[in-house]
Structure 1
Amino acid sequence: MPELTQLVDHLDRLLAIDDFRDYGPNGLQVPGPVEVRTVVTGVSANGRLIDAAIAAGAQLIVVHHGLFWKGDPQEITPLLHRRLAPLIKHDVALAAYHLPLDAHAEHGNNALLAQALGGQDPQPFAEYGFRVSFPEPDGITIAELTERTTRAVGGRAPLVVPAGPERIRTLGIVSGAATDSILEASALGLDAFLTGEPAERGFSIATDAGIHFIAAGHHATETFGVRRLGEILAAEFGVEHTYIDVENPI
C-alpha cells in the first residue's frame, strides 16, 4: 500500500499549492495512518461526509472545502469537534484543496465543467475560472445551455436569468460563489456567465447588462475536481477510490 505522504505530496505538486494565497490551508489538514488502502473524495468536510467515509473504510478523505478557514475561532468549537473527533478516533487523514482545484487547467472544477458543457477553446477568465466558446454552427440558445448545465451537474435544474442574446457564442464560468464575476464577463462582451451560488444582485446586473446569468449550485459546480483527484490517486497508486456525494441543494 502507498504511504499517506506519497499521496498527499503527489496532489500538492500536481495542483501547485504553493502558488496560491488561499482562505485556508491546502494539503494535509489532519494526519492519519502511515499507509492508505482506500481514499474517499467529497466536496465538503462536513460530518455526514466524514461518517460515510469512515463507514466505507477510508484511511484518507480528500475534499474541496476543508476544516479550517481564515477568520474562524481560534479554538476547537463544538462544530469543529464534531468533525475532528471521528477522524481522530478512527485514525483517518483528511486533505483539502480549494483554490488550486478551482484553477487547475486540466483537473480543476472550472476546466472540467467547461468540458462537460461542450465549451471549446478554454481560456483563463476572472481569477480562477475559464471562458469558452460555442461556435457550432452559430452558437447555442439559452435553452440548450440550460439543458447542458442540468446534465453536467447531475440532473439539477439551474437558476437562469435569460437576459442575454438569442445565440450564445461565449460563456464565462467560475464555480462556487462568484456572482460578481458577471461584471468581468459583461466587460469582455461575453454572452453568458455561469457560477454556482447566486447573490441577489446578479439578477439586476444580468438584466441591466444584457447577459445571461446561470447559477447551477455551489456544491453542484464543484463536484468535478475532487472526484478527478480520487481517480488520479487510484490510477497512479492503485488505491481504492469512492466518491461520496452528500447531497446539498445550495
Structure 2
Amino acid sequence: MPQIKDLIAHLDRLLEADEFKDYGPNGLQVPGRDEVQTVVTGVSANGPLIDAAVEAGADLVLVHHGLYWRGDPQQITPLLHRRLKPLFAHDVNLAAYHLPLDAHPEHGNNALLAQRLGGVNARRFAGIGVAIDFDTPLTIEELTHRVRDAVDGREPLVVPGGPDTINNIGIVSGAATDDVLTALDEGLDAFLTGEPAERAYSIATDANIHFLAAGHHATETLGVRRLGDLLAREFGVRHIYVDVPNPI
C-alpha cells in the first residue's frame, strides 16, 4: 500500500500548493496511519463527511474545505473537537486543498466547470478562475440549462441582466460575487459563481451582464472528485466520493 507521505507529496506538487497564499493550510492537516488503501473525498470536512469516511474504512479524507481557517479560535472548540475526535479515534488522515484546487488549469473546480459548459479558448480569469468563449452564442435559457447540467442538476440562481446573445462567460467557483466586476472589465457577457451576495443583483442589472450562482458546494464538487480518481489511478488506492448535501 502507498504511504501517506507519498500521496501528499504528489498532490502538493501537482497543485503547486506552496505557490498560494491561502485562508488556511493546504496539504495534510491531520496525520493518521502511514499506509493508505482507501481515500474518501468530499467538499467540506464536516461531521457527516468524516463519519461516513470512518464507516467506509478510509485511511485518508481528502477535501476542498479543511478544518482550519485564518481567524479561527486558537483553542480546540467543541465544533472542532466533534470533527477531530473520529479522525483521532480511527487513526485517519485528513488533507485539504483550497485555492490550489480552484485554480488548477486541468484538474481544478473552474477548469472542470468550463469543460462541462462546453466552452472553447479557456483562459485564466480573476486569478483562480477561468473564462471561456462559446462557438455558438447562447440565450440565457440555454446557458442556464448548461449550468444546471454542469452541477448535476442543481438549479442556479439567475439574474438575466445581460445581452440577448451570450458569447462568453467568466467562472469562479465558491463565493466570488465581486469577480463579476472583473468580468465587466473584460467585456464578458455572463459570470458564474457559487454563493451570491445581495449586491450581485443590482450590479448585473445596472451593468448589463448575466449573473448566475449555482451553489458554493455544488460548484466545488468536481475538483476533489478528480483528485480522488487520480490517486486511484496512480497509486492503486480505492476512491469513494461522499456527497453531503448542502443547499448553500
Which TM-score applies when normalising by structure 2? 0.99
Query: What letter matches 1:224 in structure 2?
Result: L
Residue deviations 1:71-108 (CA, integer Å, cap 9, x gap): 00000000000000000000000000000000000000
Deviation for aligned residue 1:176: 0.2
How big is the shift at 1:18? 0.6
- Residue 179 of structure 1 corresponds to which residue in structure 2? 177
Match of 1:200 in 2: 198
AA partner of residue 183 (structure 1):
L
Letter in 2 for 1:142: I
Give matches, 1:92-241, under 5 Å. 92-136=92-136, 139-241=137-239
Q: State the AA in 2 paired with 1:209.
A: A
Q: How far did 1:119 drift?
A: 1.2
Deviation at 1:55, TM superposition (A): 0.5
| Secondary structure, counterpart of 1:105 in structure 2 | coil
SS in 2 for 1:116: helix
Question: Equivalent residue of 2:62, what SS?
Answer: strand
Hey, what does 2:65 align to over in structure 1?
65
Q: Which amino acid aligns with 2:129?
A: G
Aligned to 2:24: 24
Look up the equivalent residue of 1:12 and give its one-letter code. D
Once the two structures are superposed, what CA deviation does each residue of 1:106-128 show, in whole Å capped at 9, x if it has no partner?
00000000001111111000021
Residue 13 of structure 1, CA deviation: 0.5
Distance 1:135 1:40 in 2: 37
Aligned to 1:49: 49
Amino acid at match of 2:178: D
Partner amino acid, structure 1, of 2:42: G
- Shift of residue 135 of structure 1? 2.0
**Identity in percent:** 70
How far is the alpha carbon of 1:183 from its aligned partner?
0.5
The match for 2:246 is: 248
Secondary structure of the residue that 2:191 maps to in structure 1? Answer: strand
CA drift at 1:63: 0.1
Cα distance, 1:156 vs structure 2: 1.0
**Partners of 1:103 and 1:213 in 2: how far apart?**
21
Letter in 2 for 1:112: L
RMSD in angstroms over aligned alpha carbons? 0.5
Could you tell me which amino acid in structure 1 is paired with residue 75 of structure 2?
E
CA deviation after TM superposition for structure 1 residue 187, in Å? 1.3
In 1, Cα distance between the equivalents of 2:111 and 2:16? 16
Aligned length: 248
- In the alignment, the residues of structure 2 paired with residue 176 and residue 153 of structure 1 have an alpha-carbon distance, to the nearest angstrom, of 12
For structure 2, the 5+ residue unaligned runs are none
Please state whether the residue corresponding to 1:155 is helix, strand or coil. Answer: coil
The separation in 2 between residues aligned to 1:189 and 1:3, in whole angstroms, is 48
What is the deviation of 1:52?
0.4
Q: Distance in 1 between matches of 2:18 and 2:154?
A: 35
**SS state at 2:138 partner:** coil
Alignment of 1:74-85 (within 5 A): 74-85=74-85
What is the DSSP-based 3-state SS (H/G/I as helix, E as strand, rest coil) of the residue aligned with 1:193? strand
